[in-house]
Structure 1
Amino acid sequence: MSDATKDPAAPPLAAYALWLVPTVPEQSEKFQNLITDLASLEQPSPVFSPHITLIHPIPLSTRLRDIHAGVKQAIKTTSSKHSLEKFTVDLNPAQKGDKYYQSVLAPVNLPNEALSSLREAVEDVFALKNLPEYFPHLSLFYGGVSPKRRDEIAKIANEKIGELGKVEIGEIAIVSCVGTAEKWEVVGREKLS
């Protein structure tokens, strides 16, 4: 994550998030290169690590060891119903979003029963209520740009990378999301299997 840019349109956050991160190095590198390329189209736009947000927000007052324990419990609960070994999600083509942190994204092709179960287990473990409807996606670009420009950037993303396809997910990253994207930090990881 780069601290070279500070977008004044970026809303600061103050919570932990759980991210599903690509496992296969070639996939992760492909997405990281795309995210970096897209960020360079609009300054200042942050560069961030490829991820699919599983859940946000977990209060900052939650102890890190309790987050690790909760994630392990959610993985165990989900694993009793679905195999998380070689867990994959299918991504649809890039499209514009309507929020700063969803400016351009690749939605996860639904339904995905394992993903839905994992999300539900995490909600239960952390007793998170009244969350917005879950919209799983791989973020590709954050920026305070117009809807028209978001469409243009989504088109560029699709031209650069072609079919996004299946992404293998092997771990959950625990991320301290304090401030804007360039300040976010992975503070822990848990393997799915």
Structure 2
Amino acid sequence: MATPQHKYSLWLSPPKYSPAHASIQSLIAQFSTAPGSPVFSPHLTLFSPVRTDSDAAAIEQVQLYVAKLRERQLSQIPTEIRRVASGSKFYQCIMLEVGGVHEDAVRSANTIAREHWDATDQPNYYPHVSLVYRECTAEQRQATEGGC
């Protein structure tokens, strides 16, 4: 019998009681009133999926990954919001696009994760902070984006 795989995602999140967390959480709550749009915690997905056979193995893998970040002097990964954007994917319906002077740090951390988890064949990484999870028409995205 095969051991079930656990699946995790690595997130960068603003500190829970920070102004950034409160602002983004407020936007998520505001836009999640539409049917099929869940409320979730503010985050930037740094890498997904991390697959392991146990929680302990996941913690060990992440600790090794963090050690690699430190070796490459990426123990802090600052982020900067570039603009409000919309996309055609469920997890990218309405989002805050991450960019600016710190974009290289975020992309480097993702590249290190891809190497660490042997996932260099994944699609291009698009750093963003989602505000709305749902399937949207172009008209719905445009209307919501204009309200941000």
TM-score range, shorter chain: 0.7 to 0.9
The CA RMSD measured in Å over matched residues stands at: 2.0
Q: With structure 1 as the length reference, what TM-score do the two structures score? A: 0.66
Superposed, 1:13-162 pairs within 5 Å as 15-23=7-15, 25-40=18-33, 42-59=34-51, 61-85=52-76, 87-109=77-99, 112-157=103-148
Contact 2:82 2:97 (8 Å CA) reproduced: yes
TM-score normalised per structure 2: 0.84
Equivalent residue, structure 2, for 1:170: none
Structure 1, gaps ≥5 residues long: 1-13, 158-193
% identical equivalent positions: 24
**Larger RCO: 1 or 2 (CA < 8 Å, sep 6+):** 1
Secondary structure of residue in 2 paired with 1:29: helix
Cα deviation for residue 103 of structure 1 reads 0.4
After TM superposition, give the deviation of residue 38 of structure 1 in Å: 0.8
- Counterpart CA distance in 2 for 1:79 and 1:155 is 40
| Contact residue 65 and residue 113 of structure 2 kept, 8 A | yes
SS in structure 1 of the partner of residue 8 of structure 2: strand
Deviations 1:78-97 (A, max 9, x none): 22223434x31111221111
Structure 2: any 5+ residue segments left out of the alignment? 1-5
- Structure with the bigger percentage of helix: 2
Structure with a larger share of its residues in strand? 1
Distance 1:117 1:75 in 2: 13
**Number of residue-to-residue matches in the alignment:** 141
Whole-Å Cα distance in 1 between the matches of residues 63 and 109 of structure 2? 11
The equivalent residue for 2:3 is none
Q: Counterparts of 2:139 and 2:95 in 1: how far apart (Å)?
A: 15
The one-letter amino acid paired with 1:64 is D
